[in-house]
Structure 1
Amino acid sequence: MLEPALIQQLARQLYEARKTRTPLRHFSKQHPGMTIEDGYAIQREWVKLEQADGRVIKGRKIGLTSRAMQISSQITEPDYAPLMDDMFFETGSDLPFDRFIAPRVEVELAFILGKPLKGPGLTMFDVLAATEYVTPAVEIIDSRIEQFDRDTKVMRKVFDTISDFAANAGIVLGGRPVRPDALDLRWVGAMLFKNGVIEETGLAAAVLNHPATGVAWLGNKIAPYGEQLNAGDVVLAGSFTRPTAAERGDTFHVDYGPLGAIAFRFA
């Protein structure tokens, strides 16, 4: 484990990097002994800095839910991070490109909880019973820590990603919300269009076979820290498409079929 003072120092670097849009070198290269627990400790210290500025946690995100992403990151389970109130954007709006460093877009479902969920022992069925509704969502991911090292081009480690809010930078909710028992959520599909050209398609079953499985995993994972998922929380269940890079001026449209659509532009 890294020393507490160093964890606070690295959290401060991430806090500043987000504000100044200045990417950092890999923490894992600077500190080869870094662990996953160190990554979450840095993340928690960064959250404290945001809260000191008046920011509020509105939910959580789950990342690295697909088998392919876990293999590429050399881990065997997903990761998670908080969703801060200033990360939410309206569908149909212009997203300020200057808020991001190297934004990418992912297609997801969001669970809005009507009841609290506290582990351990949570199951997918507990999640469905506690969910008020499920709605289409798009996550904007970003790299306050470089995705690829500027010199060696080596990809960052999972410790870096976890430290970096699990890469979360923005959320767009939209489409048609549905009760979790209104349809088989595994078969929710989406088509992602960038500037009118289809870039990605996917099914929600790619998220651990059922997107509610990840929410249960998260509730159980945070329980040892005395934490839980609360009523009203927005929980991003994980992407079921590959990330699509965005530049200023790009327009995105995500068609969820019967669940409607989300659209926005980077301005």
Structure 2
Amino acid sequence: MTLSDHDIRAAAEDLFRAETECRQIGLLSLKHPQMTLDDAYAVQAELVRRKRAAGLGVIGWKIGLTSRAMQQALDITTPDSGILLSDMLFADGAVVPQGRFIQPRIEAEIAFVMKAPLAGKSVTRDQVLAATDFVTPSLEILDTRILRADPATKATRKIQDTVADNAANAGIVLGVQRHAPDAFDLRRVGVIVRRCGVVEETGLGAGVLDDPVTGILWLIHRLAEYGQGIAPGEVLLSGSFIRPIEAPPGSRFDADFGDFGHVTLNFA
């Protein structure tokens, strides 16, 4: 790590205030060129601590940047992760009020809801399946409290910016369908995502590290490096297998996962 405790606290406070005031701040990677991924996760942890102090609870985790295309876009070879908080959960078919988010986007994912704890670098795929209560179709709402590009230098966000900003977490929508984790070949679960009736993206579960379960394994193994793990009842978003879709006001999203389920979301 290269950032001081003061810098970490200041960055987290700036992000907290930006979200509260529905505005964006400048690139942290531009302000702190030496910023490492460990620094970014430290800012994320401080941001989440600040949110929990404001009364929010932790409901799970998200895994991001799992597709090859997204990793190439950021010139990285690893996913990232963020923490899901209690104010992020929306019901299937909900209407997101205007002004709730800054520049929302939508991704389609398979969510795992856990029934048993998991921790440690030796956790296996079979153990993930055994600890999963059910899987369900989901949508993730992304938002960014950091500019996507600096207007002066044209520099774009780096993974350090995204991680510090809690992996661009904003909201989640879970489908009402619940399936045993071995009821489907999750690699072959597909989705057709329509915005206002127009097909914008399609994808397969294999787009997530060749298997959504691999995304969960990656998260558990990463958390083990910090002495953390997964708790029963937590929701784990395994990673998107479509590109993010912009969600301007008036957008209506329909995610058709075939036999796996269906999720809808609207923006006022």
Aligning the two structures, in what range does the TM-score lie when normalised by the shorter sequence? Answer: over 0.9
By how many angstroms is 1:152 displaced?
3.2
Deviation per residue, 1:192-239 (Å, 9 max, x gap): 000000100000111011101011111110112121001111000000
- Could you tell me which amino acid in structure 2 is paired with residue 48 of structure 1? R
- Could you tell me which amino acid in structure 2 is paired with residue 166 of structure 1? A
Matched, 1:24 2:25: yes
Match of 2:251 in 1: 250
Deviation per residue, 1:49-85 (Å, 9 max, x gap): 1011110010000000011211221221100010000
RMSD over equivalenced CA pairs, Å? 0.9
By how many angstroms is 1:260 displaced?
2.1
By how many angstroms is 1:133 displaced?
0.4
> Secondary structure of 1:45's match?
helix
| In 1, Cα distance between equivalents of 2:118 and 2:81 | 16
Match of 1:33 in 2: 34
Moved over 4 A (4+): none
> Equivalent residues in 2 for 1:1-267 (5 A)?
1-267=2-268
- Could you tell me which amino acid in structure 2 is paired with residue 97 of structure 1? Q
Under a length normalisation based on structure 2, what TM-score does the superposition of the two structures give? 0.98
> Secondary structure of 1:153's match?
coil
* Contact 1:126/1:216 (8 A) holds in 2: no
| In 2, Cα distance between equivalents of 1:266 and 1:51 | 27
Deviation per residue, 1:164-217 (Å, 9 max, x gap): 010110101114110001111111000000000010000011101110101111
* Contact 1:175/1:259 (8 A) holds in 2: no
By how many angstroms is 1:134 displaced?
0.3
Identity of aligned residues (%): 46
* Contact 2:136/2:261 (8 A) holds in 1: no
- Could you tell me which amino acid in structure 2 is paired with residue 113 of structure 1? M
| In 1, Cα distance between equivalents of 2:52 and 2:176 | 30
| In 1, Cα distance between equivalents of 2:35 and 2:261 | 43
Unpaired stretches in structure 1, ≥5 consecutive residues: none
Under a length normalisation based on structure 1, what TM-score does the superposition of the two structures give? 0.98
* Contact 2:123/2:220 (8 A) holds in 1: yes
> Secondary structure of 1:144's match?
coil
Unpaired stretches in structure 2, ≥5 consecutive residues: none
Deviation per residue, 1:1-47 (Å, 9 max, x gap): 10001100000000000010110110000111000000000000001
How many pairs does the alignment contain? 267
| In 2, Cα distance between equivalents of 1:147 and 1:124 | 35
